[in-house]
Amino acid sequence: MRNGTTLLLLAAIAVAGAAYLTLWDAGPVPAAPALTSVSDAPSAMVIFPVGEKPNPEGVGMKPVVFNHLVHENRVDDCESCHHTGETVACTTCHTVEGRSEGKFVTLDQAMHAPNIAKRVKGNTPQSCVSCHTEQLQRRECAGCHGIVKPTRSEAYCNACHNVAGLTKADMVAGIAGKLPAKRNAQLAADTLKARENPVQLQPTDGPYKVMIDGITDEYKANMFAHRRHVSSLMERLKDNSLASAFHSQPATLCSTCHHNSPLKSAPPKCGSCHSQRINPANPERPQLKAAYHLQCMGCHKGMNVARPLNTSCVTCHKDNEAKPVDGAAAKLGGK
Amino acid sequence: MNRRRFLTILGSAGLASALSTAKTAHAAGGTHTWPYHENSYGVLHDTTRCIGCRRCEAGCNKVNNLPKPDKSFDDLSVLDKNRRMTPTSWTVVNKYELNGKPVFRKLQCFHCNDPACASACFAKCFQKQPDGSVAYDGSQCVGCRYCMVACPFYVPSFEYDDAWDPLVVKCTFCEPRLKEGKLPGCVEACPMDALTFGRRSDLIKVARARIKNNPGKYVDYIYGEWDAGGTAWMVLAPSAPVAASKDSHQATGHEFASLGLDTHLGNRPMGELTGGALGAVPMIVAFWPVLFGGAYAIAKRREAMHKAETETIVKEAKEDMAAAMDAAVRKIAETQGPGMADTARQAMADALKARENTCANCGHHGEDK
């Protein structure tokens, strides 16, 4: 720094950065282009559990509203889903019971098979679940979804299997494959409208910073930038329609860290389940210290966050100069 | 009792004892020289959680009052080299590479269910305790280091620096701390719960649950559940699928080999391989001195008896001969005078001597005992 070159360089960078930010703000915000359909398919449709057997009571799994418009704009070509090359409805070949045309692959399998073996000849078909699972490899998803695994809960299924204003007559007709196209489109449009703009908790609904001081012996307490973490995640996901469709509850995004507890804006403290010493009744439940580390480092690893290093303790919590003599052993050793 | 009978008795006694040793081993479960303690403790090492921070090494060093290391435990550059346990570091963390990503594994005594070190030790220094630890008591140790050769995990280390009373040193499972109801030093120090302490039977369930709940994350194998007859410390490894190839199914479990764990130990205790032969050692020690000592004594006694007998016969013969000579000489002296008698005595003595000399060469020579 003796000759001031570094200082000059830094100043130049600062000026350039400021200029860039100013220009960015001043520039016109490009409006998201409206999705246009390349096919003559309806923009959304209800997929009924079509079956061969007579079903006068209309008993079956709740139908799914499928937003064709969104999906056709996300995939390379129609054959990604219409794997036979013919753009017909899935239920033409894949019914609840399975048909010879669909090689007896049932509707359930066709929609949910998680790993589909690569076909030697022709297109390898994809199911809803297999394609959506692939999307979880994206960096903004991989952090939480390396920790959170799909569970067969009602809320999880409800994200798709949910139609607003469905009557029994609709269901019976739908299962038989005889629901008029107009009514089908009407149901789909109503459902999508009801799903629009789901209520999400905002970063400001949570605390700005959280003091993590359950254990302070070798290191001082950590001031966790709660709002910064939440807003960073939400910023990355704001244009992700898949995420907004599946993060259906206001606090879904919170549930990676605040897991195994009711989804609400004021979740219980970590320490209410994670004890400071391992509990012999629940040997699988991590101790409090490990619970924090596994969550923080697990998510950072999934999202390829390079810093802080896992082994750099003092980046997150400052060294405690007034260490207790026996350190962790004294505190955790049952004294 | 003649020699043949003595040998027959001794031989059959030896055979019977050898057979009875083999039978005892069989009765104790066919394989195990140590009973399996159902409630014994263990530790599950989840290498997917380990971040290589070396806190376990520091914890071990502290609770066992080991000397301060040359390089501080914060210095992670030591991970660049694969290390082994030493008398002053009872556990070490090593870095391995799996699909280009670093994976860390902690090395320490595995505390086998049926320890190979104990099977090799003729001074009975190693004991598998009911709490799961393999304890070493050096008071009888002779420093042969057979345990170091026997251990399939290269765990015991030797105090080569100590000139007077060098002992074998290895991880104790912090047995004194377990007795106080405390966790082992390394487990307590682990900030990631990469080490889970518990009853061995519970840990196997925990490990299975982790494998099940995280599809694709782990190799579907608990190292140490059966390896080398089962160990108290067990290891989970991250799954690293190899590129699809013809023999990809054969490569399952290659992850453990990449983590420096021997996957060819088999599921039987190491001691089983040598137990039969080594079990015969006390029998050999007890019977061989009697057997060979007895045989030697019999041979010696026979020889002595034979010698005495021969001497008596020779003496008698000599006496007879002398008496006959005397009688003959006396007769000559009476009939032909003392001069002739002297000549005859001389001639007879010479002849006897000449014959004795030739006989000494031929007589006893060919006899075989």
pLDDT 10s digits, A185-210? 999 999 988 888 778 888 888 899 99
> Residue A103 — left, alpha, or beta (φ > 0 → left; ψ -120 to 50 → alpha)?
left
On whether both A86 and A131 belong to a single domain, the answer is: yes
Distance (Å, rounded) from C-alpha B136 to C-alpha B116? 13
Answer yes or no: do A72 and A135 share one domain.
Answer: yes
Q: Are residues A142 and A229 in the same domain?
A: no
Residues of A in contact with B206 (CB under 8 A): 283-284
Q: Give the tens place of pLDDT for each residue, B219-262.
A: 999 999 999 999 999 999 999 877 655 555 555 678 899 999 99
A214 and A177 belong to one structural domain? no
Name the range with the highest mean pLDDT among B9-13, B17-21, B58-62.
B58-62
Q: Which residues of A touch B215 (CB under 8 A)?
A: 149
Same domain assignment for residues A219 and A323: yes
Provide the shortest C-alpha distance from residue B193 to chain A (in Å): 5
**pLDDT (mean) for B80-98:** 94
Neighbour tally for A270: CB within 10 Å = 19
Give CA angle at B196 (B195, B200), nearest 5°: 125
CA of A80, closest CA in chain B: separation in Å? Answer: 23
Q: How far is A217 from chain B (nearest CA, A)?
A: 12
Domain count within chain A: 2
Assigned token pair, B236: 């989970």
* Cβ pair B196:A280 closer than 8 A: no
Test B192 with A329 for CB contact under 8 angstroms. no
Side-chain half-sphere exposure of A228, counting CA atoms within 13 A: 5
In a domain? residue A19: no
Is residue A52 one of the residues assigned to a domain? yes
pLDDT band at B302 (very low <50, low <70, confident <90, very high): very high
| Concatenated DSSP letters of B54-68 | -HHHHHHHHHTTPPP
Averaged pLDDT score across all residues of chain A: 84
Phi, psi of B76 (to 5 degrees): -90, 0
Q: What is the pLDDT of residue B253?
A: 73
Contact list, B62 vs chain A (CB under 8 Å): 327, 329
In B, minimum Cα distance to A276 occurs at B188
Kindly state whether B52 is in contact with chain A, defined as any CB-CB distance less than 8 angstroms: yes
The domain spans of chain B are: 1-29+282-369, 31-279
pLDDT of amino acid B13: 67
Instruction: Tell whether B204 is within 8 A of chain A (Cβ).
Output: no
Rounded to the nearest 5 percent, the helix, strand and coil shares of chain A are 40, 5, 55
List pLDDT tens digits, range A296-335: 999 999 999 988 889 988 899 988 877 655 444 444 433 3
List pLDDT tens digits, range A221-239.
999 999 999 999 999 998 8
Closest to B193 (Cα-Cα) out of A329, A293, A296, A271? A293
pLDDT at A4 over 60: yes
Main-chain phi, psi angles of B197, to 5 degrees: -95, 140
Q: Which CATH number fits domain B31-279: 3.40.50.300, 3.40.50.720, 3.40.50.12280, 3.30.70.20?
A: 3.30.70.20
Residue A73 maps to a domain: yes
Tell which of B44, B196, B201 to mutate to test the A interface (max A CBs under 10 Å): B196
A171 with A52, same domain: the answer is yes
Does residue A222 share a domain with residue A168?
no
d(CA B365, CA B363): 6
pLDDT confidence bin for B192, thresholds 50/70/90: very high
Confidence of residue B63 (pLDDT cuts 50, 70, 90): very high
- Both A259 and A323 in one domain: the answer is yes
Does residue A108 lie in a domain region? yes
Q: Of A195, A211, A231, which residue constitutes the final position of a domain?
A: A195
Among partner residues A149, A310, A328, which is closest to B51 by beta-carbon distance?
Answer: A310
Q: Which of A157, A176, A195 is the last residue of a domain?
A: A195
Cross-chain residue pair B185–A149, CB shorter than 8 Å: no
**What is this model's ipTM?**
0.76
What is the domain range of residue A281?
A: 203-332
CATH number at A161 reads: 3.90.10.10
Looking at the fold, whether A154 and A245 belong to one and the same domain comes out as no
Q: Closest partner residue to A283 among B49, B206, B213, by Cβ?
A: B206
Q: Does B181 touch chain A if contact means CB atoms closer than 8 Å?
A: yes
CB pair distance less than 8 Å for A310 and B213: no
Q: Which chain B residues contact residue A334 at CB under 8 A?
A: 181-182
* Cα–Cα distance measured from residue A143 to residue A165, given in angstroms and rounded to the nearest whole number: 37
Domain boundary among A134, A160, A195: A195
User: What's the rounded mean pLDDT across residues A241-252?
Assistant: 86
Range A147-175 burial, b when 16+ CB lie within 10 A, else e? beeeeeeeeeeeebebbeebeeebbbbbb
Q: Are residues A320 and A207 in the same domain?
A: yes
* B78 touches A at CB < 8 Å: no
Under an 8 Å CB criterion, which residues of A touch B?
Answer: 149, 277-278, 280, 283-284, 286-287, 289-291, 293-294, 297, 310-311, 313, 327-329, 332-334
Angstroms from A289 CA to nearest CA on chain B: 6
- Residue written as token pair 């660049």: B80
